Amino acid sequence: MTIKVAVAGASGYAGGEILRLLLGHPKYLSGELEIGALTAGSSAGTPFHEVMPQFPQLADRVLEDTTPEVLAGHDVVFLGLPHGHSAEIGRQLSDETVVIDCAADFRLRDKGEWAHYYGGEHAGTWPYGIPEMPGHREEIANATRIAVPGCFPTGATIAMLPAVAAGLITPDIAFVSVTGVSGAGKKAAVPLLGAEMMGNLRAYNTSGRHRHTPEIAQNLSEVTDEDINVSFTPVLAPLPRGILTTASAPLKEGVTADAAYETYRAFYSDEPFVHLLPEGHQPQTQAVLGSNMCHVQVEVDGRAGRLVVTAALDNLTKGTGGAAVQCMNLALGLPETAGLPQVGVAP
């Protein structure tokens, strides 16, 4: 049986990353996976090679309108749409179709948090696509509706999940994430112009205003009964891709550096896409470029009495498109690692 896959929002960065990975997927290479409809909004009717020249295999395709009718009849539909557009499309697709949403529409459980950060009607909550979170791999494997996490929450969650679950810290956590510009999407905006970005660093949506803040807190709350307090500061950097997250929190009494490192080693020992670096080595975005990996380091700042964790990932791969394909593999009963590179592109 051939798996037929559609990508809505194929002209955007998330859609393009999904396609990059699908074109290298063993099921595609064997002829058992077919790339069906490629859809867009304002770019509908445009030859695909004009907006995505990096895909010679799809050079003869034309972007179609993003409608339920065009997307119907596929086994898997990836939604790489702006926030607020996925709910209506998802409602109109068959329950048998695996729908994987890369927007925020179905990530949050709390209606109040949705209203505060996004506004409008809360569409509901779908199974959440970080397989590395306890119980989520099994939930995803039995789902036909999946919400891909935000890129910042992926790195932040992987960074602090073992510490919160093991009670190593008081969960009053500060996150600072330095990110490349592709996380803002493929849109024309003055702050993202080369002249504005090159040689410049800028914090934005500070003091709890970033929409990913409640998502990080929601994720970490799953593994503790303690109240989670999250302070999140994103920093825009002149990079196309990549997120480097530094997280710190007060260390509980008696926790040593060796104990912290062993906790992380044990927690992620069976995870194919999380790499705990050897002690003394720091994650860097270059090392994960184009891969579905998250590189992690955990340390104890004894003088400050804090746990310090750093994590690096590619925001378009593990942070979006790779996470989406990882979830597809699980939902279809395929090997979880199929089509997902573990080796970065450096330099």
Burial (CB count <10 Å: 0-12, 13-18, 19+), residue 245: buried
Give the type of residue at 91: R
Q: Where are the alpha helices (DSSP H) in the chain?
A: 13-22, 26-29, 48-51, 68-71, 86-91, 111-117, 136-141, 151-166, 194-197, 213-221, 257-267, 285-288, 322-332
Judge whether 102 counts as a catalytic residue: no
Which residue among 102, 151, 294, 327 is the active-site one? 151
| 340 Cβ contact partners less than 8 Å away, ≥ 6 residues apart | 21, 273, 292, 317, 322, 325, 326, 329
Amino acid at the residue 51: V
User: Shortest CA distance to 261 belongs to which of 281, 232, 246?
Assistant: 281
Q: Hunting for tokens 């749409």 — which residue is that? A: 81
Distance of CA 17 to the CA centre of its chain: 12
* Amino acid of residue 49: H
Which residues are marked as active site?
Answer: 151
